[in-house]
């Protein structure tokens, strides 16, 4: 954190946040129960109070008495310093003291602000307070309020000798006891940072400092925490920048002696020298820069990979925004991140810092109409802009903070840290901090994270998706023989993530349409009215694909799969021409045969769903014909190379509920004899890629529909109990997988007609998919509950 705001430069590196991981030993057992306050559910809520917020104008003045202590488990007072007497204390004689003893910054810290902070314990007896020592400005040789000019190297000097460390530690303990603080928070930004008083030995010396501090408080009810960087600071030695994992492993060594780390998971982007375009201050699942490494998720995963215990990671949440003055035009349709900018945004009336606005200043501008709020789905954060003034702001609001809080619960972290209390909209009751506290107190209130984000470590073939059979034939568009109620767009918006499409090529003009690839059934190429025998009206394949592309562009974190029953084959060029008509399609297609990032054909394993989203390869198209045997590569995969599939029909009258394979000798099916080796199963189609067989990574498309469906038959067939019974007792028994060789494979796709049927709540195919994903997440087999 800084004496004004947290402002940091970061090193950027390819390939993500960390390059390695290492476990560390557990922390010494110290009885800190009395000092270690918790919320009702065990989570910490740590809020920083800025002692300079007392000077803000324009309704922004903020004092300890305005704090609602019920919202916090811990309050950190920012800041104390050491080795220097400020102008606030000695207006005519600010000076270095020549020692490492703790000093106040403001003239009224000791007489007014400290006592007011401690009085909050009368309203919340469980509240604990800590003095935070340091801050960004303390180590900034160009500090605008002229503290860092004199103090920027004091941390490094103090930590370099045992005598200096001992003097600092015992002065901190004495000072904390005198002013009734329950702990010390060290905010050295950052050890080893060249240009900010750092040197390479700082890493070993800081570790010695926290180890000796822990020894000094052993057996006391006293807390020791630090403020820690979100990613590797750019000024540290090359060994940490070239191997980022080693930096987090160093933090893990420090964590042995700390109660927790306040992770400054914000300031990823701002009007900083190395940021050339606008970006998000605190992007959650991924960077706002394509393929960039900066996100809260990457930070937390780096901490965890280094061996830092979940409970010691307290995730930072900002109550302010970063602002820019963009140099490119902003419009209703083009206003997101990634725009070039000419300068920082204008200062707020209260915070008076160019490039930064408090949440209340942002909300006031939105309410007055001078900023327009928009949502950025890829980062799960909002932004706001003014097309007339070219002002652009990245910030967090109650919606994005809900997701962040949900994420820290998902990762079982120690809690949330707020920078800063007085930057929330305190005039309206602290809506951001209340949002954090309410969710932590009652996790049932947390918003649902996108499925890929909840389990970023799961591969594409470790999810189940709802699939619609004959997705194009729908009542909304007046098809003569409908299999679904709604358009493809409506299906996708309602949660369908896989589509089955039958395609035919028309080589002539007709009264109903011209040449091209159509969505049809039973096409008679010699008929005057193509498709008249089943499934009017006509619709081109590119029309349907345009709907899919539009959905994916509007929903950056979703993945869609398409299965083609392909009667265009063997004319691959015709199919290619149809695909080429769809703007933006190629950039979205993930080709498991030829993708340069990850080839399933070569590795035998599917990429992580989160990786596909990061690459923006979020559409997979399978065909039941092998276009890859031809010269032209169009990105359409052959389904029998990757997919296991049960027979497509429930039989005459819907009475055949067995789960036999669709494929035998190219088309027919058989029940697999019990005891058949895996390599000879008909479900392990001889045309499956060998690596897919080896890795047991074939997808399972579960077909569940009749030859001639109606809404009534769908309501009868599509109940949760019937579908689950078929999966568990037909597809998972020896008729599907030999008992002694079972892979406990769950269906990846559940394909049905009229997917909304039956209308009874929690009793349809979508609920089956939900249950299957629960089992994937908990690593349960298809017959394990």
pLDDT digits (tens, 9 = 90+) for 543-554: 999 999 999 998
Residue 425 confidence (pLDDT): 99
8 Å CB contact between 7 and 353:
no
Residue 133: both structure tokens together: 């020592």
Report the alpha-carbon distance of residue 250 to residue 243 in Å, rounded.
12
Q: Quote the distance between the C-alpha of residue 152 and its chain's center.
A: 36
Q: How confident is the model at residue 29 (pLDDT cuts 50, 70, 90)?
A: very low
Residue 452 confidence (pLDDT): 59
Delineate the domains of the chain, giving CATH numbers in brackets. Answer: 44-318+398-449 (3.20.20.80), 460-777 (3.20.20)
8 Å CB contact between 438 and 445:
yes
Asked if residue 646 has pLDDT above 90, the reply is no
- 189 is annotated as an active-site residue: yes
Q: What is the dihedral of CA 625, 627, 629, 630, to 10 degrees?
A: 140
Report the alpha-carbon distance of residue 601 to residue 75 in Å, rounded.
54
Alpha helices for 411-529 (secondary structure H): 431-441, 451-454, 488-493
Residue 470 confidence (pLDDT): 92
Q: Which of 199-203, 401-405, 427-431, 501-505 has the lowest mean pLDDT?
A: 501-505
pLDDT digits (tens, 9 = 90+) for 685-726: 567 888 888 888 899 999 999 988 889 999 999 999 999 988
Spell out the residues 6+ positions from residue 216 whose beta carbon is closer than 8 angstroms to its own.
169, 170, 173
Report the alpha-carbon distance of residue 680 to residue 515 in Å, rounded.
43
Helix (H) or strand (E) holding 334: none
Strand pairing class (643-645; 391-394):
unpaired
Report the alpha-carbon distance of residue 486 to residue 477 in Å, rounded.
8
Per-residue pLDDT, averaged over 45-61, amounts to: 98
Enter the DSSP assignment of 533. T
Asked if residue 662 has pLDDT above 90, the reply is no
Burial of 775 from C-beta contacts in 10 A (0-12 / 13-18 / 19+) = middle
Comparing 782 with 356, which gets the higher pLDDT?
356
**How many other CB atoms are there within 10 angstroms of residue 399's CB atom?**
14
Comparing 768 with 18, which gets the higher pLDDT?
768
Residue 645 confidence (pLDDT): 84
Residue 590: both structure tokens together: 């993930």
First to last CA, the chain: 47
Residue 253: both structure tokens together: 């060594």
Spell out the residues 6+ positions from residue 568 whose beta carbon is closer than 8 angstroms to its own.
503, 504, 505, 517, 574, 575, 578
Bond before 758 cis per omega within 30 degrees: yes
Q: Which of 99-108, 159-168, 414-423, 642-651 has the lowest mean pLDDT?
A: 642-651
pLDDT digits (tens, 9 = 90+) for 325-339: 999 888 888 899 999
Positive/negative CA dihedral, 443, 377, 545, 573: negative
**How many other CB atoms are there within 10 angstroms of residue 526's CB atom?**
7
Cα–Cα nearest to 438, from 68, 11, 22, 149: 68
Query: Cα separations (Å) of 10 from 124, 269, 648, 757?
Result: 38, 9, 54, 53
DSSP string of 174-233, one letter each residue: HHHHHTT-SEEEEE-S-TT-TTTT--TTHHHHHHHHHHHHHHHTTTSS-EEEEEEESS-B
pLDDT digits (tens, 9 = 90+) for 616-631: 899 999 999 888 765 5
Q: Which residue out of 116, 174, 189, 507 is catalytically annotated?
A: 189
pLDDT digits (tens, 9 = 90+) for 126-146: 999 999 999 999 999 998 677
Cα–Cα nearest to 701, from 629, 759, 642, 653: 642
8 Å CB contact between 357 and 397:
no
Spell out the residues 6+ positions from residue 221 whose beta carbon is closer than 8 angstroms to its own.
31, 32, 33, 34, 35, 182
Instruction: Tell me the average pLDDT of the chain.
Output: 86
**How many other CB atoms are there within 10 angstroms of residue 629's CB atom?**
9
Residue 457 confidence (pLDDT): 65
**How many other CB atoms are there within 10 angstroms of residue 534's CB atom?**
15
């Amino acid at each position: 954190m800084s004496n004004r705001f947290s402002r940091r430069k970061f090193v950027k590196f390819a390939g993500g946040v960390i390059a390695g991981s290492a476990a560390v030993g557990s922390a010494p057992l110290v009885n800190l129960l009395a000092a270690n306050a918790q919320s009702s559910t065990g989570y910490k809520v740590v809020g920083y109070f800025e002692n300079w917020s007392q000077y803000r104008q324009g309704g922004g003045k903020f004092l300890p008495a305005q704090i609602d202590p019920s919202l916090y488990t811990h309050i950190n007072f920012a800041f104390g310093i050491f080795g220097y007497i400020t102008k606030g204390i000695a207006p005519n004689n600010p000076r270095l003291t020549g020692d490492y003893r703790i000093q106040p910054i403001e003239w009224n810290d000791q007489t007014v602000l400290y006592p007011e902070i401690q009085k909050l314990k009368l309203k919340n007896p469980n509240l604990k307070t800590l003095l935070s020592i340091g801050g960004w400005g303390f180590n900034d040789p160009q500090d605008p309020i002229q503290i860092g000019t004199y103090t920027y190297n004091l941390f490094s000097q103090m930590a370099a000798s045992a005598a200096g460390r001992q003097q600092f530690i015992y002065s901190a303990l004495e000072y904390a006891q005198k002013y009734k603080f329950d702990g010390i928070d060290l905010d050295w930004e950052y050890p080893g940072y060249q240009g900010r008083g750092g040197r390479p030995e700082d890493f070993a010396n800081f570790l010695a400092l926290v180890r000796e501090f822990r020894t000094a408080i052993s057996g006391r009810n006293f807390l020791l925490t630090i403020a820690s960087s979100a990613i590797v600071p750019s000024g540290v030695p090359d060994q940490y920048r070239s191997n980022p994992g080693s930096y987090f492993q160093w933090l893990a060594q420090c964590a042995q002696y700390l109660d927790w780390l306040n992770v400054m998971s914000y300031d990823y982007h701002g009007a900083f020298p190395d940021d050339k375009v606008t970006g998000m201050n605190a992007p959650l699942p991924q960077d706002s820069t394509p393929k960039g490494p900066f996100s809260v998720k990457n930070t937390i995963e780096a901490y965890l990979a280094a061996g830092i215990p979940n409970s010691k990671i307290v995730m930072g949440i900002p109550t302010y925004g970063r602002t820019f003055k963009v140099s490119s035009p902003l419009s209703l349709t083009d206003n997101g991140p990634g725009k070039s900018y000419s300068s920082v945004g204008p200062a707020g009336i209260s915070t008076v810092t160019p490039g930064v606005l408090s949440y209340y200043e942002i909300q006031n501008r939105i309410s007055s109409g001078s900023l327009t709020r928009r949502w950025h789905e890829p980062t799960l954060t909002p932004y706001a802009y003014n097309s007339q003034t070219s002002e652009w702001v990245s910030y967090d609001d109650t919606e994005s903070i809900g997701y962040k809080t949900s994420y820290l619960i998902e990762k079982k972290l120690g809690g949330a840290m707020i920078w800063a209390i007085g930057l929330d909209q305190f005039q309206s009751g602290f809506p951001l901090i209340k949002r954090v506290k309410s969710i932590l107190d009652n996790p049932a209130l947390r918003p649902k994270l996108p499925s890929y984000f909840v389990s970023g470590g799961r591969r594409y073939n470790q999810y189940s998706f709802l699939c619609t059979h004959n997705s194009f034939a729908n009542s909304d568009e007046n098809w003569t023989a409908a299999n679904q109620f709604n358009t493809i767009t409506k299906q996708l918006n309602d949660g369908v993530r896989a589509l089955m499409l039958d395609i035919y090529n028309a080589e002539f003009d007709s009264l109903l349409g011209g040449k091209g690839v159509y969505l049809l059934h039973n096409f008679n190429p010699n008929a005057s009215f193509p498709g008249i025998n089943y499934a009017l009206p006509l619709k081109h394949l590119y029309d349907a694909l345009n709907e899919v592309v539009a959905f994916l562009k509007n929903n950056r974190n979703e993945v869609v799969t398409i299965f083609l029953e392909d009667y265009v084959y063997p004319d691959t060029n015709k199919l290619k021409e149809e695909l080429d008509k769809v703007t933006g399609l190629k950039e979205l297609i993930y080709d498991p045969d030829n993708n340069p990032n990850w080839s399933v054909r070569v590795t035998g394993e599917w990429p992580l769903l989160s990786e596909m989203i990061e690459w923006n390869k979020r559409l997979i198209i399978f065909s039941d014909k092998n276009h890859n045997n031809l010269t032209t590569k169009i990105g359409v995969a052959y389904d029998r190379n990757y997919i296991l599939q049960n027979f497509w029909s429930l039989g005459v009258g819907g009475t055949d509920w067995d789960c036999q394979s669709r494929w035998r000798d190219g088309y027919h099916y058989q029940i697999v004899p019990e005891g058949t080796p895996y390599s000879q199963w008909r479900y392990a189609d001889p045309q499956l890629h060998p690596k897919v067989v080896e890795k047991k990574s074939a997808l399972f498309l579960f077909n569940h529909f009749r030859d001639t469906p109606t809404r009534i038959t769908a309501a009868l067939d599509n109940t949760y109990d019937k579908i689950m019974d078929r999966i568990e007792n037909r597809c998972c028994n020896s008729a599907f997988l030999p008992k002694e060789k079972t892979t406990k494979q769950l269906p990846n796709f559940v394909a049905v007609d009229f997917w909304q049927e039956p209308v009874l709540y929690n009793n349809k195919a979508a609920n089956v998919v939900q249950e299957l994903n629960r089992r994937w997440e908990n690593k349960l087999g298809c017959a394990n509950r």
